[in-house]
Structure 1
Amino acid sequence: KLKPAATAALFARARAVVGVHGGALTNVLFCGSSAEIFELGFATPFAGHYRHLAAALGLRLTLLPLAADERGIGAQEVRLVDMEAALKTVRGRLSGDATRNTEEL
């Protein structure tokens, strides 16, 4: 576990952050304006916290949607809607390919 100052420094240097929707993703507050943020989460209007945070900070956030099923948000296991599309999106963003609209897959 990192101390708060070390966590802030780590995120300040990050070129990309890939994280599951949750409290730890709040550390994107420390990211520079060129950082790419990828959130693994559910495509629902009720889970837009980090999209709003990214917009307020001028960061670009891409949702990598998780499949909704009977287990819901509290599930111990989840899966991406489309793993290949998610990987292609992350690789494209990190290589500078801005041709895809990746605000949401």
Structure 2
Amino acid sequence: MRKFVTAGVTAALATAGLLAGTGSASAINRVTCNEFGYTWLISPATTCWANRGSIAVTLYDVNQIQSGNNTGQVASPSGYVNFPSKFATYSFSSRRVDAITIY
């Protein structure tokens, strides 16, 4: 009986550990700026991003977002800039971007 209980407890703990470790995966990645479907962050060193997720970055002097086939937001010390519409351009004062989220 003792072996059965120990095995049951071990199985329960293993299952709980597996469940605690699962979450939504973030697939966002930096891509070459060669397609208008990507999200473009316009700056002296323009970068482009694809796929859903969030990523911490440090991008300086960003002053425009071209959303491509995406919606999302960027975070900066001066607040968030949302890009709620696909294939739209959002211009703003130059700022450092610390995070990008694509929905």
TM-score range, shorter chain: under 0.3
Q: Select the structure that is richer in strand.
A: 2
If the length of structure 2 is used for normalisation, what is the TM-score? 0.24
Larger Rg: 2
If the length of structure 1 is used for normalisation, what is the TM-score? 0.24
Q: Select the structure that is richer in helix.
A: 1
Structure of higher RCO (CA pairs closer than 8 Å, 6+ residues apart): 2
